[in-house]
């Protein structure tokens, strides 16, 4: 047993700065020699029981120390006989997150000029260039249901009720945060979050703040 948490899971919430954190982790994994386990699956956050078992098995057998990252709702390792890892995550102001997602769906990101065409190939030009104020004020479906509840299942878990907005899902999410998450940061305070990660998990995040500030 290593003298620090050797199993860390970052079940990253979309549009909450996770791309930046993963870029930092790639640098840090080479610098500190830990196993960064990433996933190419970005759009499957809810898993069947068999998919949960298979993913947990694959994660648990990875070379330690490891840090696993994927867009996936909370997984209960102990339910399937595995060792429960340390969880970390970052969330952000829900309105800012909605804004970020609105423009990301239309214009993608720095990974390629045509990235948005791959994500939303059927989007018409007038829809792609729709002013967000018009979208909101005229109650377009995309803007009248901005999926603000979307964050809670990342902490509530894979139970079907976690996707039903309500007290049960919220309370279960809070319980999981208290019992399983070392840190849930806020993107608007990212430098403080990185500083805390450096203090709590130095084997993974030592020097992260200086790397983040370096052009």
Would you please indicate which residues are annotated as catalytic (active-site) residues?
A: 71
CA distance 76 to 181: 12
CA distance 165 to 152: 9
Q: Which strand (E) or helix (H) includes residue 184?
A: strand 181-186
Q: Which strand (E) or helix (H) includes residue 118?
A: helix 115-119
CA distance 181 to 155: 9
Q: Is residue 35 within 8 Å of 67, Cβ to Cβ? A: yes
Long-range contacts of 15-21 (CB under 8 A, 24+ apart): 15/92, 15/97, 15/100, 15/101, 15/104, 16/90, 16/91, 16/92, 16/97, 16/187, 17/90, 17/92, 17/187, 17/190, 18/69, 18/71, 18/90, 19/109, 20/190, 20/212, 21/90
């Amino acid at each position: 047993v290593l003298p620090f948490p050797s199993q860390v899971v970052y079940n990253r919430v979309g549009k909450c700065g996770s791309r930046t954190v993963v870029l930092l982790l790639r640098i840090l994994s080479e610098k500190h020699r830990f196993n960064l386990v990433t996933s190419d699956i970005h759009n499957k956050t809810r898993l069947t029981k068999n998919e949960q078992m298979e993913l947990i098995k694959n994660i648990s057998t990875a070379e330690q120390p490891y840090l696993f990252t994927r867009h996936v709702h909370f997984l209960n390792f102990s339910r399937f006989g595995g060792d429960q890892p340390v969880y970390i995550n970052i969330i952000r102001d829900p309105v800012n997150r909605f804004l970020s997602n609105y423009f990301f769906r239309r214009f993608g990101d720095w990974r390629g000029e045509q990235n948005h065409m791959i994500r939303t190939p059927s989007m018409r030009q007038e829809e792609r260039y729709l002013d967000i104020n018009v979208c909101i004020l005229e109650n377009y479906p995309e803007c009248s249901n901005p999926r603000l509840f979307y964050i809670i299942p990342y902490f509530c878990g894979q139970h079907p009720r976690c996707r039903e907005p309500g007290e049960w899902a919220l309370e279960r999410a809070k319980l999981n945060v208290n019992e399983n998450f070392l840190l849930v940061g806020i993107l608007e305070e990212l430098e403080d979050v990185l500083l805390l990660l450096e203090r709590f998990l130095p084997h993974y995040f030592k020097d992260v703040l200086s790397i983040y500030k370096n052009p």
